[in-house]
Structure 1
Amino acid sequence: MKSFNKFSPLIALAFLAFSCGPKDEIAAKHAELEELKAQSNEISTSIAELEAELTKLDPEFAKQNKKSVLITTAEAKKGEFDHYVEVTGSVLSKKNVMISAETSGRILEIPVLEGMRVTKGTVMARIDSESLQRNIDELENSLELATTLFEKQERLWNQQIGTEVQYLEAKNRKEGLERNLATAKTNLAKAVITAPFSGTLESIEVRLGELVQPGMGMFQFVGESDLFIEADISESYIGVLSKGDSVEVNFPSINKELQTKVSSIGAIINPNNRTFKVEVYLPNLPMVKPNMISVLKILDYQNANAVVVPSHLILSDNRGDYVFVVEDGKALKKYVERGKTFDRETEILSGLKGGETLVDKGFREVGDNFNVNIAQQ
């Protein structure tokens, strides 16, 4: 125990020296850091003061000293550019007809309904034909008598008995009754209204028991064949569009697309809306119905070697149209001549060669000769 007590003060001093060493080192580094920060602040303040003074004295330095703007980029593409006339059209039928009565009478039967699809020859209405039938019966009886009299007169004439006038009168009476009977039978057939071709009964314009007269409209009937699309095109495209031009047709209601051609171009300008009619050929498609809305894209311009840029990147000033091109970390203003625009892309006729890097996002924050920093995409 005595030997341990003899050395205990020395051990305590050694422990104290060891414990104070790292603390002194940390304190020294903190002091050094604070001193460097103070120097940095002084340097930053001096730099800012000098930059402010130079900005006032030297305009070129002011331009070069602007902070970099964070941007993304897009490429000026070189390749094919197609321009389309895009309009809304309606499906029509060349067999869209109003079926009218051809004889007078009261309607006895209408066995069809609106919207019904019928085939050629289907009975659509029956008109009272009792008076026509009685007329036919009377004519048949008269014709029978006239035929008998003519045959007797003919035999007498062949035997050179009687006069030629008697023979001709008998013959004329018989032939006249034959013609009247044929006409009456034709009118009787018209008392039954049938579908002239296969199609859809769009509307019924008459009611059961109603009295109809020749020429009175009875049924609006639309055929399912010979469909076409009609659209109104602005007169500014006169001479641009021609028969046979390619057309892309989209039917939004059935999500159907097809490729077809212009079949006819109108020769008259509508004075109300300054447009002319264009007809587009439509193949027979089961899902396409008359009056269906369609969107037409008619190709009117094509350039196989065009420079194309996104339309929203083109800006304008009092000198003209321009875009910002990235070169050596700077945004440079390039004036361009624009051509046609379609589907958010614009053809550039001059000012760009293709392949240039354009300022995309951030193009409204930059100016000519601004420093830019391209963000990672």
Structure 2
Amino acid sequence: MRHGLFIAPYHDVTESPTIALRRDVEIVEWVEKLGFAEAWFGEHHSTGWETICSPELMIAAAAERTSRIRLGTGVVSMPYHNPLMVVNRILQLDHMTLGRTMFGIGPGLLPTDADMIGVEVKSLREKLTEVAEILVPLLMGEEVTHETSWYKLNKARAHILPYTQPHPEIACASAVTPSGGMLAGKHGFGMLCVAATESAGFDVLDENWKIARQIAAEHGKTMDPQKLRLVVPMHLANSREQARRDVEYGLSRWVEYFDRVAPAGMRGMSSGDPVDTLVNSGRAVIGTPADAIAMIEKLQAKQGEFGVVLLQAHNWADWEETRKSYELYARFVMPHFAGTNRNRQDSYDDLGNAIDRLESERQKGADAAFRKWEEQTGRKAE
């Protein structure tokens, strides 16, 4: 299992967008040092909170401050763009990052984005299905002629060939409906389950993966569970009480925003204590590393094998508490699932089992050393 960040992002409309965007890059730099494997940046153009309008720009900036972590578009809202232009940007990033770029696609989450540019909200999923047909040929440098109601390609081909062979990894967003799984299965794409812990999303996790596998088999493809990613909101501290204190202000503001913008099935957090609402419903972890481990094990029990846990970057806490949360995750949660400390734990357990026996042997050795000294010197050890 690998671990990463999913950065929509969520920045309160009362704070500086300049600082917020810089910190989105800085947090990727921080989690790379902690051993995280991936970071994904969203695309949004309205509502005020989700301030990244170009995930490609964020990838370019983060790539210059990191060396190992993989960077993805999480996701490009394909119905808003000409696909050739998007593919050219992805391939440029593929070279600039030396193969660390991942290409996440989706229909577009915010209806206000589509409304501003005159795209019918109800047509978004259909448009994504149309454009998905030509993404792999374009990424591989093939010539494509393709016309839909919203774009026309005439003998189009990407300007440069991919650095990654045969092409950068593609993943599509999946929430509640089966459309994401069907699209992923048809083309062999990975899946970004952005609502894995929402009640409606959690209920269909295994079913959507089953659908993806069935569709993939019908098209002669195989779904790779290592390319299945589940997004989970978490904030960790040394105690549950401390975690609650950390998110006291930021969480309530986020809940207010999320209950406005989320699809109807994902709302309902504004009444009562937001921590209780999120934790008791299983929608988020606000607690300790042990609570994080329990959440991931719950997802494993529901989903089965999957490749990556993506922590949703939500800015519920202040900067230092946020950094500390990711550090605690890296210190205690990541090694738990990697089995990193198995031999250390075995050695520690053996110490408890053997210390009395070995201590007596050690004492015998010490006694023998004293006797030898007395024999050689004729003096009695004090």
Q: How does the TM-score come out when normalised to structure 1?
A: 0.18
Q: Higher strand fraction: Structure 1 or Structure 2?
A: 1
- Name the structure, 1 or 2, with higher relative contact order (CA <8 Å, separation 6+): 1
